[in-house]
Structure 1
């Protein structure tokens, strides 16, 4: 079964460039089929014209958000490592050999909300991969020494990553902005917890049992394959996976009522950094808030914005400025990070940022400018839907957030509905001083 992938993208791009009504149409141009096994395992299939190529993703809806016990952060990321340690049937070497023989490379990544295991392979090896993936999800096995060895590797990864000032800045920002929710720690976890991780073998088994179970996993397959044949294989290899339940209670973050600040004295020379973050609502397709805040970030801080042009291009008081508002299952952060040219310019850059935000609250955006931003966001996303892997990566993101692949289409409909008034409302509600956290990082002088 084949679908004209590039033709679908060409049509979609044409719609992105056309008038308003196109913005209300589904942005995802390929058929999606969803089936659920009796044990709760969800299987999402997207036939796509990628001759002989298949993307095979396993989306585990567990990330650092799930690490609710004090002193035990970092285990979602830890299992990104441990899942390659093998089973009785497939040792680590056997698993790696299988993917090498298939001309494939299995990989994984962890976020605040989910962990994703991914592989791109030739479709002739699909049954072998389904067999191997089901085996490690159902029968992962590792010794205490394996566990301790990998946990020490994670500690080494932490020291490597957080030797960079921007990583340390972000860690401090999260720790300061959140007081209760598990978004307080980054995906890697708190350092003191990682240092203690070698002593937590028994807890690791508990974490795996809680979250690596069929009702919490989505198998996502995109590319050149027969859906009915794939379902036969999924039922054959995953059908005996035992269904379990676990009620996760993530602490609710209380509303922030006053500005918070923190500072880092960096022990080496570096340009100064400034981070400013505002609490924002969880991802939702039920209103325009998520889409509107994304548009607002582009409007105020995008490369075409007056602020960016002034700070980075004209005055050159900042080397960079960027804004991110990642989609989150729970309320997250609207984050601005700037690398400033010198210590004495930090306050000036900060004031310029707040002035630009104040303007967004007080002055409605020109409708033509808003339309151009919407079109650019839609066009940029459409251009990424050109390979089995990129399609799978995009869908995995939304499967994590809602469990429903159609939420991708729904959120892009909300983008089309955002009005100038919505942007002002969102800036007035969320981009305010009492909802703000500031962190600065200054390096030692040469």
Structure 2
């Protein structure tokens, strides 16, 4: 099953290397405009970890034309919304506006692609903001374990650190470090513009040529080809800090988005934890999924989730669960590994297979609602693989067999390939459960991890 609705995506290239994807949708007088830069925390080196995220912040601090905060004011005054986010593989900026105001987005993004000021006082001010942001994450147990898991799982590849960066680097980084990073990676030949909505493509391309087309091509950026050495055995990490509840995590090195095994891994994630569709990332808590039945229904854990996302390079297939009071992490671990062993040795059922495909189709279609969703998926997939993956996703998923699912489970969910993490609260009486009268807000460690690690590159208001 392919989606013919995507057949009108048009790809254009300018002489300065800028790639442009346009898709006309005329069902409402609105349009979304995205700029995706092929730079994220994977492009950082030790000493400047967190630079990609910090540069994102600085893009809202003014250019020669626009002052601090003017981007947000200009967009909202014209009935639109805007935001930005940084992830391991990319940084993205977008505006969604009434279609007759789309020129505003074009002017904003073409200006700050090359003219961001990086005023020293603003850099100093933002240092405080970003360190405070990191310290806020540090209040969540899931952040600490996630950070230690990445550093343990990846010894060579720059996926070994969180997007927020190490605190010592945030304290030491200079204005010149940030500006040099910006100058290297923010250029037309390292970006993809995505526009979706109510516009005429030919007219839009003329406007883009008159703005983005005049920007100078940047220096060619070498393709990052760092390969993580094959893991030679199980790795373990234990984090002991104050926290709400114990929680368990395991991560397995898994294939990148362009690997033929990617689609079988997506089905595997759906069977174990529920389908995420093309939302890409953490699965929804499917009550009929294997891990939900094995852990939550049996009252071993308060929750359970599976994470698998299309990435430029091999990353982690993760399972995490928050222990219920009185349940040991050893028991959680045994239950998780038992389910992973089953799916590695016995094919999934016809019912499980069909349910995952049905859920994915449904979520795929639901995600078609709204021009911003189109812009997000086209841009994200173009950075990690190809935007055409958007059109062929369901067809490739439906080509996966039950034997394929068992094969990839056996291949990737192996003891030699895993990193296991435990978060052990040091405070007495730690619990994740509500009080007897139900008035206490329930906040699990796994829930904290979802928010702090920003697995789906959660967008921040400016």
1:130 paired residue number: 106
Deviates more, 1:247-256 or 1:392-401: 247-256
Is 1:290 matched with 2:290?
no
Deviates more, 1:241-250 or 1:101-110: 241-250
Q: Call closer, same or farther: CA 1:343–1:400 in 2, change over 3 Å.
A: farther
2:127 paired residue number: 151
Equivalenced residues, count: 415
1:190 paired residue number: 166
Is 1:210 matched with 2:153?
no
State the 1:27 CA deviation.
6.7
Q: Secondary structure at the match of 2:94?
A: strand
1:236 paired residue number: 210
Summarize deviations over 1:251-289 as a string: whole Å, max 9, x none: 321110110001111224x210100010011111x62x1
Mapping for residues 352-371 of structure 1, pairs under 5 Å: 352-371=335-354
State the 1:129 CA deviation.
2.2
2:311 paired residue number: 328
Summarize deviations over 1:197-226 as a string: whole Å, max 9, x none: 2xx221212111111011111111111011
Is 1:121 matched with 2:97?
yes
Q: Secondary structure at the match of 1:239?
A: helix
Q: Secondary structure at the match of 1:242?
A: coil
Q: Secondary structure at the match of 1:295?
A: helix
Is 1:51 matched with 2:34?
no
Summarize deviations over 1:361-382 as a string: whole Å, max 9, x none: 1111123421221121122111
8 Å contact from structure 2 (residues 294, 335) kept in 1: no
1:41 paired residue number: 18
Q: Call closer, same or farther: CA 1:390–1:249 in 2, change over 3 Å.
A: closer
- 5+ long unaligned stretches in structure 1: 1-22
1:434 paired residue number: 416
Is 1:142 matched with 2:118?
yes
TM-score (norm 1): 0.90
Supply the RMSD in Å over aligned alpha carbons: 1.6
Summarize deviations over 1:272-324 as a string: whole Å, max 9, x none: 0100010011111x62x1111111112123321233123212x2110011010
8 Å contact from structure 1 (residues 28, 408) kept in 2: no
2:325 & 2:5 partners in 1: Cα distance? 45
2:440 paired residue number: none
1:179 paired residue number: 155
2:190 & 2:22 partners in 1: Cα distance? 17
Mapping for residues 88-107 of structure 1, pairs under 5 Å: 88-107=64-83
State the 1:410 CA deviation.
2.8
Q: Call closer, same or farther: CA 1:159–1:28 in 2, change over 3 Å.
A: farther
- 5+ long unaligned stretches in structure 2: 275-285, 430-462
Is 1:75 matched with 2:59?
no
Q: Secondary structure at the match of 1:92?
A: coil
8 Å contact from structure 1 (residues 30, 48) kept in 2: no
2:8 & 2:308 partners in 1: Cα distance? 29
Is 1:405 matched with 2:387?
yes
8 Å contact from structure 1 (residues 74, 189) kept in 2: yes
Summarize deviations over 1:115-153 as a string: whole Å, max 9, x none: 110111011211232122201112111222211211221
1:436 & 1:234 partners in 2: Cα distance? 47
8 Å contact from structure 1 (residues 30, 47) kept in 2: no
Instruction: Indicate which of 267, 279, 294 corresponds to 1:310.
Output: 294
Q: Call closer, same or farther: CA 1:377–1:84 in 2, change over 3 Å.
A: same
Is 1:60 matched with 2:37?
yes
1:278 & 1:425 partners in 2: Cα distance? 15
State the 1:235 CA deviation.
0.3
Instruction: Indicate which of 246, 251, 255 corresponds to 2:230.
Output: 255
State the 1:250 CA deviation.
4.8
Instruction: Give the helix-richer structure, 1 or 2.
Output: 1
Q: Secondary structure at the match of 1:167?
A: helix
Is 1:246 matched with 2:221?
yes
Is 1:299 matched with 2:266?
no
Q: Secondary structure at the match of 1:265?
A: strand
2:364 & 2:396 partners in 1: Cα distance? 15
1:305 & 1:97 partners in 2: Cα distance? 45
